[in-house]
Amino acid sequence: MNEMSTSLVAILNEQISCAQEMLATLARENQALVDGDADLLNTAGAEKARLVEALDSLEHERRALSDAIGLTFASASDKSADASRPAEWRALLDLIAECKQQNQRNGALVKARSEQVRIALRALRGTEAALYDPSGLEHAARSARPLGTA
């Protein structure tokens, strides 16, 4: 293995490490969403942002190095095995797929919580349900009374 190939594997291993950290952070974010822990959610969000930047930076390095070597990497949808690609590539793709799935689950939780808050606010404010005019456009809901008045 030449020096460039060794460097490429080292970058892939760094990406794998970052993706593993991201998966753990997504798990913490999920727990924060389930528990309603705003502090943990903020911490997880900041960590996610840091890891996304790190992964993006490493990806730019990996692409530049693989271009210099003349090695093209298959996308996650390309299932063909190519012996010229390091085994770390498949491991990275698998981890990234797991991260994507966990992030989508977390997004669904956020959406559900957001809808619960919207419903609670609507009940507190006494707003009417959304109505539609004959053209199918939604009318803005009217508030029966301002929040905090009796």
Instruction: Please write the tens of the pLDDT for every residue from 85-123.
Output: 788 999 999 999 999 999 999 999 999 888 888 888 888
Residue 10 three-state SS: helix
**Is 15 contained in some domain?**
yes
List the CATH number of the domain containing 8. Answer: 1.20.58.300
pLDDT at 139 over 90: no
- Domain presence at residue 53: yes
User: Residue range 78-82: average pLDDT?
Assistant: 51
Q: List b or e across 98-109, with b for residues whose CB sees 16 or more CB atoms inside 10 angstroms.
A: ebeebbeebeee
**Is residue 132 domain-resident?**
no
81 — pLDDT class (breaks 50, 70, 90): very low
How many domains would you assign to the chain?
1
- Is 74 within the bounds of a domain? yes
Question: Any bridge partners for residue 138, and if so which?
Answer: 132
β-pair partners for 132: 138
Residue 32 structural domain = 3-125
User: What integer best gives the mean pLDDT of the chain?
Assistant: 84
Side chain identity at 57, as an amino acid letter? S
Q: Is the pTM of this model over 0.85?
A: no
8 within 8 A of 71, measured Cβ to Cβ = yes
The two structure tokens encoding residue 31: 């727990």
